[in-house]
Structure 1
Amino acid sequence: MSQRSSAILVAVVGLVAVLLLGYALYPVLAVGVLGPPTEYDRTTVTAYDGDDGERLGSVDARVADDRVSRYAGLSYTENLSDGEGMWFVHADADSRTFVMRGMSFDIDIVFVSANGTITTVHHAEAPVEGQDGESLRYSGEGKYVLELPADWTTRHDVSVGDCLDATGYETTCAA
């Protein structure tokens, strides 16, 4: 290989590396420089008992459906009222891990399959002083994740196997 060909190869590999790094860091940089999103689409998410279809409760949820809003999540939110939540939308169902970055209050984290069936429920505590919220990791399987005020799932008797129906999404388990 000639010196010119080697130089071109190194330049192309370097450019690809810079582009991949930029893509990976985009949400971090966007939130760090511009701050968290201030406008969100909203949806109503209603929980139904997985056995008998009884309505268990509902929330008005902000929709986080892009990389920046999913990264920011509730990190810059002071609190959630009992009727609020955040509905995270991903392109497909997969194993996901959520962290408590920048959180100042406890929440419930509910992982939801593509059809709306609840696969995992976590009661996540906010980081204590001196603790890095990145180290508080909560994992589950799903296309969607719903974050709710602490113990909302307990107060409404919502558990694994129940169904979440989100207006405007193909969550059909309650049908």
Structure 2
Amino acid sequence: MDKAAFWKIIDASRRDAEDDPEEQLETLRERLSSLEPAEIVSFDRILSEYHGRADTWDLWGAAYIIGGGCSDDGFMDFRGWLISRGEKAYEAALADPESLVKVVKEHDGECQIEGYQYVASEVWEEKTGKTSDDFPSHDLPMRTGTSGTPWEESDLDERFPKLSKKFS
């Protein structure tokens, strides 16, 4: 699977769910279950890569403003939500988190989808009958933590004025 095929699956699952983030997780699960195990693993590798790329202080700050706070687990779920919105929204948010002002809809809530980053491995386990210990590992480089410049809560309004105006 290549990245274009990955984003096609993401986009199709979002359309099938009529943009409902929680429903999208279920439609994504259904779409993945129709793939061969190796394709599911490939999908998961790409998902993991995008999830890691979005581990930035700027996006965490945006998630904090949007959700009225954001724990480390919440930020993992936020990155899943961000990927679920598609390539255009994802890349725009990486370039400028303030672009999320135009992406977040009322039905998005705190913009967190719990378990999004595990959906492929869960489908793979169901399909193969194997356990998570058997799931193939990826060759992605080890992350050393959140990238970018850390922030203090008191700095967020100035750092992200558009998001602060909309969500405060």
With CA pairs under 8 Å and 6+ residues apart, which has the higher RCO, 1 or 2?
2
Q: State if a TM-score over 0.5 links the two structures.
A: no
User: Rg: which structure is higher?
Assistant: 1
TM-score normalised by L of structure 2: 0.25
More helix by share: 2
TM-score normalised by L of structure 1: 0.24
